[in-house]
Amino acid sequence: MVLFKDISKNSLTELFYYLNGMRMEYRKKLNLPDFITFGNEIEVNDIILDDAKAIVKEFNSDRHLSKHDSFDTREELTCDSEIVTPIMTDSIKYWNLLYDMYLLLDDEGATFSYNTSSHVHMGTKCIDSKEKLSLLLKTLVVFEPIIFKFGYGRDDLPREYMTYMPHGSNYSMIMSPKRVRDFLEYLDRKNIDGKELTAMLDTFLNMDIRVRSAFNFRQFNFPKLYSSEYQDAPDHMEFRNFNSADPIVVQNNIDLCGHIFLAVVNGKIDEEYVKAEYEKYKKKRYCFDEYCGVLDVDTTGAQYNRILNGYNKVKLDKAFKLADMIFDDDISKFHFLKQYLKLYHRDDEYIKSLEKKN
């Protein structure tokens, strides 16, 4: 298996050119165990909710899908409709269903625009201790810039809906360091009390529905951390920054999320590295939660966009660290780096600019 950190500068340039011409394939397996579960919310325009319901009903019927494996629809205020997958595992059956649904939506005239997203839900039953939750959160915020840029799919920039626009609403996607720090300082204590944890959650999750970060833990089963009575409650979290309607890109997004989870569970996270980077993250002072979704045009709006634009800068060392740490096969690593660097038949000038960043 290739280790990005060990590649020489000349070999890295060769790799960039290889990835630039490499065709990404839709895969039948991602090497994820069955305890890694996931789902996908597909937001679309130009298909109203009633039509979406009819399309999904026929899709489920034609494939004789059980209630457990059926797709569903939901009303979505930010776009015309939303299609929701069943809870899936890494199997040929589910990958075929996901691919067929995206193909069908395209055939039915669905469009994907500035206001549509492709949220990935991850089952969190495997995050069964406060130590694992703490490590997962620290890993996510440390690699937040990498996850964001990777999540822009085949594009160089986030969808417009994520950026601040004067006189418009903004749904802040960026985690606030103070909120994360305060919650984790409590979570990292040796003993936690259920009532105190609930109070901390109110601050960490911020119950104003208009402010939801890219890493949304509202559906995480927090009571399981302090009581065995709640082990069977619904248990998942959501990655909200992804924005592509390309099934290959969507699969890459799930591959990244799934392997971050697997690395946390299997002890593959470099905890010393994450701890050191998290100490830097804790010192950041930006906070957009208190604005309830509408940022100030003169101050916080501009600051928000600067940070979001900063996420689009190439950070090779950090991207290499993440890929080497979580992936155990070259195909996933190559798909990750190609999508992160947006190496889709780019010109020599762009590739040479990447060489300088190494």
Neighbours of 202 (CB within 10 A): 9
Is residue 169 pLDDT above 80, yes or no? no
**C-alpha separations of 230 from 91, 128, 234 in Å:** 29, 12, 9
Per mean pLDDT, which range of 36-40, 98-102, 192-196, 342-346 is the poorest?
192-196
Task: Give the predicted TM-score (pTM) of the model.
Answer: 0.95
Mean pLDDT to the nearest integer, 277-306: 84
Could you give phi then psi for residue 104, rounded to 5 degrees? -65, -45
Mean pLDDT to the nearest integer, 247-260: 98
Cα–Cα dist 224/130, whole Å: 10
**C-alpha separations of 283 from 12, 178, 203 in Å:** 33, 8, 19
Q: List the one residue out of 89, 33, 52, 98 whose CA is nearest residue 250.
A: 98
Residues 74 and 148: beta-carbon distance below 8 Å: no
**More confident of the two residues 265 and 358:** 265
- What pLDDT score was predicted for residue 164? 84
- What pLDDT score was predicted for residue 215? 94
**pLDDT band, very low/low/confident/very high, at 162 (cuts 50, 70, 90):** confident
- What pLDDT score was predicted for residue 211? 67
The packing angle between helices 330-341 and 316-326, to 10°, is 150
Domain map (residue ranges) of the chain: 23-342
Cα–Cα dist 253/322, whole Å: 14
**C-alpha separations of 352 from 320, 342, 347, 349 in Å:** 18, 14, 9, 5
